[in-house]
Amino acid sequence: IGFIPTLLLAPMGSFVMRQTVEWNDEGRLWRELSKYGLFLALLFPVTAACFAVGRYFSADIRAFDYLPLLFVSGATVTFFGAHQALTSVMNILGRRIGYVTISNMGLALGIGLAVFLVGLRPTAETWQSGVVIGYTLVVPASLFLIYRVRNRLPHPHSVVPAAGFFSRGALSYCLPMVLVSICFWIQTLGYRTLLVAKSDAVTLGAFTIGFTLGTQPIVLITKIANDYFVPAFYRRIAHANEEVKVGAWRPFVAQYLGLGLIVAPVIGASAHFYCRILVAPVYWQYAWLAWTGVAFQGFSMAYSAYVVLGQAMMNNRIVLWANIVSCVVILAGIYLLAAKLPLIGP
């Protein structure tokens, strides 16, 4: 369920977010979102088919019930993708109260239904079904709000039309992002397969726990920063030339990275405290590894700011080579250092 969105959903969703303001100014936001809805509907059978094929190659997938797995995998990509895109569109359009309300409603309904359904049938598929149903139930509310606030007619000022969802511009924007997303997955999660091959599962577990203690708090802060700073940035650069975009990007970077510089040292310094709250005592000795996660996620914030510049310019190729080089360095470093320094090498 995680890999298919990496390849298809994330790049197209990013394109929708980037174009939302322009489409709305041109009076065609609803039409372009309808095209995205068609794309999500097509992803349902594609995702289900991938899992059907995957059953023949993975014993882990075969452990699940066949038909429920196909439904849950397809529904997760389609309906959660719709929820995520529509709430993000509301945020970019400046409807933050609606964004926060509907996002939290979907989360609460999803968890509530998941707990209820697991009580009836305790399986992973049942839990995921409850989560998906909860998010699906709030999609009509998102559609209604966007329909109410959208511009029905284009603004009177003359602008160059923005690229539509099914266009060559969308393909040019998304293809590099597919490769970037794969590289980012290797950088953030791919180390696990290589690390366990070069050391052992116990070391992998210890490293993952310590590393995650440092990364996840900053991931949450980054999510909040993205929700606040990126929509405002997109509104400022709508229909702008490159000079204006770069000029708007500089204060965005200052605010975005300034927040990271404040938060990262605090999280690293307090890791030993919240480690005792979140993990079992046997893992307390690995709390110092949180600093590796803090360092990694801090550099990731700087990278994210650079990605936003590529998206602003509608040119994601500028971050592609940096990702490829980073993947090679990370995998080579793990291969050479993990056996001798299993906790520091990665």
The alpha carbon of residue 128 and the mean position of all alpha carbons in its chain are separated, in whole angstroms, by 18
- pLDDT for 288 equals 82
pLDDT digit string (tens) for the chain, length 346 residues = 556 656 778 889 899 999 999 999 888 899 999 999 999 999 888 887 877 776 676 666 666 666 777 788 888 889 988 999 999 999 999 898 999 999 999 999 999 999 999 898 888 788 888 999 999 999 999 999 999 988 877 766 656 778 889 888 899 998 888 888 788 777 766 666 666 666 666 777 777 788 888 888 888 888 888 888 899 999 999 888 888 898 999 998 888 888 888 888 888 888 888 888 888 787 778 788 888 888 888 888 888 888 888 888 888 888 888 888 888 887 777 777 766 666 554 4
- pLDDT for 1 equals 52
- pLDDT for 103 equals 92
Token pair listed for 95: 């409807």
- pLDDT for 345 equals 46
Question: What burial letters (b/e) apply to 186-204, b meaning 16+ CB within 10 Å?
Answer: bbeebbbebbbebbeeebb
Q: Which residues contact 8 (CB under 8 A, 6 or more apart)?
A: 43, 46, 178
Q: How far apart are the first and last CA of the chain?
A: 26
Quickly list DSSP for 89-107. HHHHTT-HHHHHHHHHHHH
The answer to whether 18 touches 52, Cβ cutoff 8 Å, is no
Burial of 57 from C-beta contacts in 10 A (0-12 / 13-18 / 19+): exposed
- Cα separation, 142 vs 178, in Å, equals 27
Token pair listed for 109: 């309904």
- pLDDT for 143 equals 94
- pLDDT for 339 equals 64
User: Helix count (H) and strand count (E) of the chain?
Assistant: 16, 0
**Taking the model in full, what pTM does it have?**
0.84
